[in-house]
Amino acid sequence: MKKNISSIIFGIAIVLSSFFLGKAYVDRTKVEGEIQVTGLGKTDFSSDLIVWEGSYGAQNIDIRQAYLTLEKNKSTINEYLAMKGINTDDLIYSAVSTNERFKRVYSEDGDYIGEEFTGYELTQSVQIESKEVDKIEKVSREITELLNQGVQFYSEAPRYYYTKLADLKVKMISKATEDARLRAEKIAEFSGGTMGSLESAKMGIFQITGQNSKENYSWGGTLNTASREKTASITMKLVYKVD
C-alpha cells in the first residue's frame, strides 16, 4: 500500500516538475516588445506683428549744425510717417551716435602724410512695432520717397513675429502626439500584436521656417523672422508597450 502511495506521489511530482519547467522555458523565451514612433505636427500661419527700423544722419564740420540738421531730418520723417497713417507716439528713437570723420592726406609726391578732420557725423535710428502689418510693410518699401525731401533714410528689412506662439505650440504638440499614436496603432495591427500602455513621450524641437523655403532645421530650433508667411513644426517621440 505504502509502495503504491509512493509511486502515485512520485508520478505527481514528475508531472508538476514538467509543467513548471515548461512554463519557465516559455517565460524565458518570451520577448518583451515595444513600439517606438515619431509623430509630426505641422501647420502654416501668417505673422501678426511687424518690427521695422531704419536710420538717418547728418554731417557737418560744426557739431551744433550737424545736430540741428539731424533734428530737422527727424521732424521731416515724423511728418512723412504721420501722413502715411502712423502714430508718431509709437515711434522709438535711439540715442544719437556721434563719430568724428577724417580723410587721408597725401603729399604732391603721393606719400601719405596723415589725416585731416572733415567734420562730425551724427546718426540716429527709429523703430516701430505694430500689428498693422500691411501698413508698415508698405511704408518700409516707400520710405525712399524721403529722398525727395532731402533726407537719406536707410531702411532695414522688416522682421515678422507671431504673438500667439504659446497657443500654437500646444496645438502642434497635440497634432504630433496624435500622429505618433496612429502610427503606433498601425504598426501593432500589421505585426499582429496589441498596443499597450504608453511608456514614454519626448518632445522634439519647435521649428519655425519661412513657407516654401529651403531653410534647414537647427538642433536648437529655427525661428524665422524674415518671412511673413511661416510654417511651424514639432515632433513627438512615443514609446508604447506591446502586449
Q: Which domain-ending residue is among 137, 159, 181?
A: 159
Number of domains in the chain: 3
> Which CATH number do you get for residue 39?
3.30.110.170
Using CB atoms within 10 Å of the CB of residue 116, give its burial: 0 to 12 exposed, 13 to 18 middle, 19+ buried.
exposed
How many C-beta atoms lie closer than 10 Å to residue 64's C-beta? 9
Q: Which domain-ending residue is among 159, 177, 206?
A: 159
> SS3 string of the chain?
CHHHHHHHHHHHHHHHHHHHHHHHHHHHHCCCEEEEEEEEEEEEEECCEEEEEEEEEEEECCHHHHHHHHHHHHHHHHHHHHHCCCCHHHCEECCCEEEEEEEEEECCCCCEEEEEEEEEEEEEEEEEEECCHHHHHHHHHHHHHHHHHCCCCEECCCEEECCCHHHHHHHHHHHHHHHHHHHHHHHHHHHCCCEEEEEEEEECCCEEEECCCCCCCCCCCCECCCCCEEEEEEEEEEEEEEC
Domain shared by 173 and 142, yes or no: no
Domain shared by 100 and 155, yes or no: yes
Domain shared by 59 and 147, yes or no: yes
Distance of CA 68 to the CA centre of its chain: 42
Domain shared by 139 and 56, yes or no: yes
Domain shared by 224 and 190, yes or no: yes
Cβ pair 128, 136 in contact under 8 A: yes
Domain shared by 133 and 77, yes or no: yes
What pLDDT is attached to residue 32? 55
What pLDDT is attached to residue 7? 52
- What is the sign, positive or negative, of the torsion defined by CA atoms of 130, 134, 138, 141? positive
What pLDDT is attached to residue 228? 96
pLDDT digits (tens), the chain, 243 positions: 544 555 555 444 444 444 444 443 334 333 358 899 999 999 999 999 999 999 999 999 999 999 999 999 999 999 999 999 999 899 999 999 999 999 999 988 888 889 999 999 999 999 999 999 999 999 999 999 999 999 999 999 999 999 999 999 999 999 999 999 999 999 888 888 788 889 999 999 999 999 988 777 777 788 999 999 999 999 999 999 987
Domain shared by 116 and 176, yes or no: no
Cβ within 8 Å of residue 109, ≥6 positions away = none
What pLDDT is attached to residue 201? 93
Domain shared by 14 and 38, yes or no: no
CA distance 195 to 212: 37
Residue tagged 504673438 (cell numbers) = 163
Cβ pair 230, 160 in contact under 8 A: yes
What pLDDT is attached to residue 2? 47
- Distances in Å between the Cα of 233 and the Cα atoms of 45, 168, 186 are 11, 10, 23
Write out the three cell numbers for 87: 502714430
What pLDDT is attached to residue 216? 77
Domain shared by 60 and 150, yes or no: yes
Q: Which domain-ending residue is among 111, 142, 159?
A: 159
Domain shared by 98 and 3, yes or no: no
Domain shared by 92 and 146, yes or no: yes
Domain, as residue range, for 78: 50-159
Residue among 134, 146, 132 nearest 78 (CA): 146
> Which CATH number do you get for residue 134?
3.30.70.2970
Domain shared by 148 and 221, yes or no: no
pTM, rounded to two decimals: 0.78
